[in-house]
Structure 1
Amino acid sequence: MRKQRFLYLSCFLGVLLTPGIALAHIGTGQTGIVAGLLHPLTGWDHVLFAFAAGLWLSSNRFKLRQGLALFLAPLMAGMLMGANGSHAGFMELLLGVSVAITVIMLLPRATPGRPWGIVLLSTFALMHGLAHGHEMISLSLQGSLTAAAIALSSGCVFLAGHFMGSLTKRDPRQAAQ
């Protein structure tokens, strides 16, 4: 329990102490597999959101494949919507808020139930995908490769969070063996 609290507190403080949390979108316009793979790793909004989503889903006993489906399906759907021109002008603010709420969801007394958590995380993943849909350049091959690389890289960050969450919820009787 102590490890879990430390991990949650670290994520929460990371959100509070990081200025300009949604600045991952600097340098958009670059496309390709390498740009797509690096994009989610170079911005706090991606890293914190995907990691916290993995932690939350793991700590709420979602299997890995369920968590990936709840995270990656809306992310990709949002990218497809964004490629068709759907994008709000205040999207960066919404992304910052989504990261903060996702990290707050990790706090034991602030966590929503499973149904509401699923709705929140899937909606936030959709918003993150929507913000990056313009990088698909109207579904061109290069843009589609970029989107696939963004999804792959985001999925890897999610996997890291899910793995860390699974370590913190281990049964103490198993650790003694």
Structure 2
Amino acid sequence: MSRPALFLDRDGVLNVDHGYVSRPADFEPVDGIFDALRPAVEHGVALIVVTNQSGIGRGYFSQQQYDALENHIAGLFASNGCPLTATYHCPHLPDAGCSCRKPKPGMILRAASEYDIDLDRSAMVGDKTSDIDAARNAGITRTERIDSASASPDALARAVAWIIEAEQ
């Protein structure tokens, strides 16, 4: 049976955006992030990260460094009661013409297919127009754009509430 998902951008949503974050030591979770996401997990909502990571394509860090960081992030979220269902990333440069780089919906559609996600019951939280456009291009109508400068979990809490209320 399909389930809803909360699609999340990474930098500026889950963590304070310090530029091209590539090392576990540089990953700083947004204050209150785990408390904001935990109710989604408790209600069976998938937490799926979709993130553009052109730092790989630009040579700022390697795929191996990215993978090590993502393993750290997955462990951190799991140990705080918020296991991530999946993380998808686009390593390409903005002009690469790939189907995965947001605002294209490739990562979201792939996740929906691989995890039996009902996009009509899902939501997206991002800090850039490309995040919101990717969600809309995939058919997700519930979106929340946040200001990454303030890095507040309030938008996440609202998105979680939308999904939970719709399920009841």
Q: Same fold (TM over 0.5)?
A: no
Q: TM-score, normalised by structure 2?
A: 0.31
Higher RCO (Cα < 8 Å, 6 or more apart):
1
Q: TM-score, normalised by structure 1?
A: 0.29
Bigger Cα Rg: 1
Kindly indicate which of the two structures has a greater share of residues assigned to strand: 2
